[in-house]
Amino acid sequence: MVARPIAWTIAGTDPSGGAGIPADLKVFHSLGVYGGSVITAIVVQNTLGVKSVRPLEGALVEAQIECLTEDLPPRAIKVGMLATAEIVRVVAERLEGIGAPVVVDPVLASSGGATLLDGDGRQELIRRLLPRTTLLTPNLGEAARLLGREAMEAGEMPEAAEALLELGPEAVLLKGGHANGDECRDFFATRSGVRRWLVSPRQRVTHTHGTGCTLSSAIASFLAHGRPLGPAVSLGKAYVNQGLRLGGGIGRGRGPLAHLGWPGETSDMPAEMPWIPADGSARACGMEERTRG
C-alpha cells in the first residue's frame, strides 16, 4: 500500500455532509489524500440552512491539533469555520511551527445569513492568521467584510485582491461565483506578482452547498500532492466544476456537489486570462508556475 500524503481540515461540522469537515474529508479521500480533522464547532444544519452553532472551547481545539501534530504531520492544511476569536488565536498559534501550506476559507456567515465568526474573531483572523496564510479564498461578501466594506461588485475584484494581499496572505483567490453573468470569474493574485482571471461557464444548478469548502480543500489536496500553487488553484476549480456538473439529487434544499476524484474532462479546467490593468500595462499571468514541480 502506497502511503498517501496527509492533509488536515480545521473547520466546523455538517450533519448533512455537504460542507465543513465531512465535505473536506470526502474531497481529500477522492483525491488520494489521507485526511486528519480538527473540529471547531458543532453546526446543526442541512441542505435547507443552518439551525444553530455551538463552538468548542479553545483548549479542546488546541488538544486536537497537538494530537495530530505528534502523529500525523500534514503536507497541507485547510482552515474553514473558526467560530470565535479564541479559536482563531489557538489555531494561529499552533500552526506557527508547522511548515505546511495553509489554505484559509474565511467562513464568516452562512448563505442564509447566520453569523459564523463575529467581529472580534474577524479582527483576530486578520491580525493573527492571515500573515500565516498561503492562500486566502474569500467570496465577494467575505472579501467585503474583511476589508470593512458594505458590499463589493465584480468590477472591484482586482483592486480588492490587492487590498487583501496587504492583510498578509501570500496569495488570494477572490471568488466571483456570487456575481451575475454567464461566466464565473475568479481573480488570482500573489505577492510574487501573478495576476490572472480564472474563467469558467456558469453552471445553472441548485446543488451548490459546500462549494467554498470543497474548493479550498481540493486546492489543499493538490498542494499536499506537491503541485505548485498556481496549478493547484486551477485543478481545484476544475474539481468544483466537475462536482457541479455531475452532482445533484441530495436533500430538499441546496444539495452538495459530487466528489468523484481527479478532474477527468478538459472542459472542467478554467480558462486562464492575464489581467490587463486600466493603464494598459500587462501584468504577469503566472504561467511560470505551471512549469515548476
pLDDT at 69: 97
* 155 is an active site residue: no
* 210 is an active site residue: yes
Catalytic site residue from 210, 236, 247, 255: 210
3-class state of residue 39 by DSSP: strand
Catalytic site residue from 13, 40, 190, 208: 208
Which three cell numbers mark 276? 490587463
Catalytic site residue from 58, 175, 190, 230: 175
What is the rounded CA–CA span in Å between residue 152 and residue 218? Answer: 26
pLDDT at 178: 72
Cβ neighbourhood burial of 251 (10 Å; 0-12, 13-18, 19+): middle
Which three cell numbers mark 162? 490587492
Catalytic site residue from 211, 214, 236, 243: 211
Q: Per-residue confidence at 291, pLDDT binned at 50, 70, 90?
A: very low
What is the rounded CA–CA span in Å between residue 42 and residue 20? Answer: 10
Selection from 17, 18, 59 nearest residue 40 by Cα: 59
* Mean pLDDT over each residue of the chain, to the nearest integer: 92
What does the pLDDT average to over 251-277? 94
Cβ neighbourhood burial of 2 (10 Å; 0-12, 13-18, 19+): exposed
Catalytic site residue from 213, 243, 247, 255: 213
Q: Per-residue confidence at 290, pLDDT binned at 50, 70, 90?
A: very low
Domains and their CATH numbers in the chain:
6-291 (3.40.1190.20)
pLDDT tens digits along 128-171: 999 999 999 999 999 999 999 988 888 999 999 999 999 999 99
**Alpha-carbon distances, residue 160 vs 94, 129, 135, 155, 285 (angstroms):** 29, 19, 15, 9, 18
Catalytic site residue from 212, 243, 247, 286: 212
* 175 is an active site residue: yes
* 213 is an active site residue: yes
Selection from 244, 236, 14, 205 nearest residue 107 by Cα: 14
DSSP state of 126: I
